[in-house]
Amino acid sequence: MGYARLFTRLLCAGSLLFALGLGSPAATAEQGQEIFKDTSRIASIGGAITEIVYALGEQDKLVARDSTSLYPEAALKLPDVGYMRALSPEGVLSINPTGILAVEGSGPKEAIDVLRKASVPFIMVPETFDHAGILEKIRVVGQAMGAEEKAAALSGKVEADLAAAEKLTAGIADRKRVLFILSMQGGKLLAAGSNTAANGIIELAGGVNAVDGFSGYRQLSDEAAILARPDIILMMDRGGDHGPADAELFTHPAIASTPAGQAKRLVRLDANYLLGFGPRTAGAIRDLATALYGDELKG
How do residues 147-165 score in pLDDT, each as one tens digit? 999 999 999 999 999 999 9
Q: At what angle do helices 131-144 and 148-167 cross, to 10 degrees?
A: 170
Query: Which pLDDT does position 17 carry in this prediction?
Result: 28
The mean pLDDT value for 180-207 works out to: 96
Query: Which pLDDT does position 21 carry in this prediction?
Result: 29
Provide the pairing of β-strand 232-237 with 177-183.
parallel
End-to-end, the C-alpha distance of the chain in Å comes to 35
Q: Estimate to the nearest angstrom the gap between the alpha carbon of 120 and the chain centroid.
A: 25
The domains spanning 34-152 and 177-293 adopt the same CATH topology: yes
pLDDT-derived band at 3, boundaries 50, 70, 90: very low
> Does 27 have pLDDT greater than 80?
no
CATH code reported for the domain at 177-293: 3.40.50.1980
CA distance 154 to 139: 9
Q: Taking CA 32 as the corner, what is the angle to CA 30 and CA 36, rounded to the nearest 5 degrees?
A: 85
> Does 14 have pLDDT greater than 50?
no
- Concatenating the DSSP letter of every residue in 272-299 gives HHHH--STTHHHHHHHHHHHHHGGG---
Query: Which pLDDT does position 190 carry in this prediction?
Result: 97
The mean pLDDT value for 96-118 works out to: 97
CA distance 151 to 158: 10
Strand pairing partners for 269?
A: 236
How do residues 50-70 score in pLDDT, each as one tens digit? 999 999 999 999 999 999 999
> Does 285 have pLDDT greater than 60?
yes
**Share of residues in the chain with pLDDT > 70 (%):** 86
pLDDT-derived band at 34, boundaries 50, 70, 90: confident
Question: What pTM was computed for the model?
Answer: 0.87
Kindly list the distances between the CA atom of residue 120 and the CA atoms of 26, 103, 140, in Å, as whole numbers in the listed order. Answer: 6, 16, 18
Backbone phi and psi for residue 183, each to the nearest 5 degrees, phi listed first: -160, 165
Residue 97's nearest CA partner among 81, 77, 83, 73 is 81
Query: Which pLDDT does position 12 carry in this prediction?
Result: 38
> Does 283 have pLDDT greater than 70?
yes
How do residues 214-267 score in pLDDT, each as one tens digit? 999 999 999 999 999 999 999 998 665 555 568 889 999 999 999 999 999 999
The mean pLDDT value for 117-143 works out to: 97
CATH class of 34-152: alpha beta
Query: Which pLDDT does position 244 carry in this prediction?
Result: 54
Query: Which pLDDT does position 242 carry in this prediction?
Result: 52
How do residues 251-265 score in pLDDT, each as one tens digit? 999 999 999 999 999
Domain boundaries, the chain: 34-152, 177-293
Query: Which pLDDT does position 15 carry in this prediction?
Result: 30
Average pLDDT, rounded, for the chain? 89
Alpha helices (H) in the chain, listed in sequence order: 3-11, 47-55, 89-93, 109-116, 131-144, 148-167, 197-204, 222-228, 243-250, 253-256, 259-263, 271-275, 281-293
Query: Which pLDDT does position 297 carry in this prediction?
Result: 87
